[in-house]
Amino acid sequence: MTQLTQLELDDLLDRYATLRDTLQGLEAERDELSKLLKDALAEGKTPTTALYRAELRPSRSLEYPVDRFREAFGDAATLEVATIDRKKADALVKAGDLDGEALSNLAVTKERSPSLVLVALT
């Protein structure tokens, strides 16, 4: 790894923070523009520029229904590939369908790669 001076590290952090803040602003603007354009397209409008024409296309994702997967491959394979959706489990707790304490006792925290977090000094 390259040895950086404190001044170089400070400059890198400043540039990183600037890029992060800029990207967050751009992503928020992109999301808002996307919503406005999708609404316009849904109303039958056709936004066009010299380079682009906007159109709505269906978005798809591949899923395997648990019951059909289990029928085809059995219980062991189904358990091997199954994951628990945390948001859905939490919703079941809120609805009173699951015991929140029992769910909390099942929870396991897994380490992931470290996140770079910027802490404001002011």
pLDDT tens digits, one per residue of 34-87: 999 999 999 999 999 999 999 998 889 899 999 999 999 999 999 999 988 999
CA 73/CA 56 separation, integer angstroms: 37
Predicted pLDDT at 120: 81
Same structural domain for residues 76 and 41? no
Same structural domain for residues 41 and 89? no
Share of the chain above pLDDT 70, in %: 99
CB of 93 closer than 8 Å to CB of 100: yes
Q: Is 48 helix (H, G, I), strand (E, B) or coil?
A: strand
Tokens 């992060």 correspond to: 20
Same structural domain for residues 80 and 98? yes
Say what the pTM is. 0.62
Residue 103 located in a structural domain:
yes
Tokens 């002011």 correspond to: 122
Same structural domain for residues 3 and 44? yes
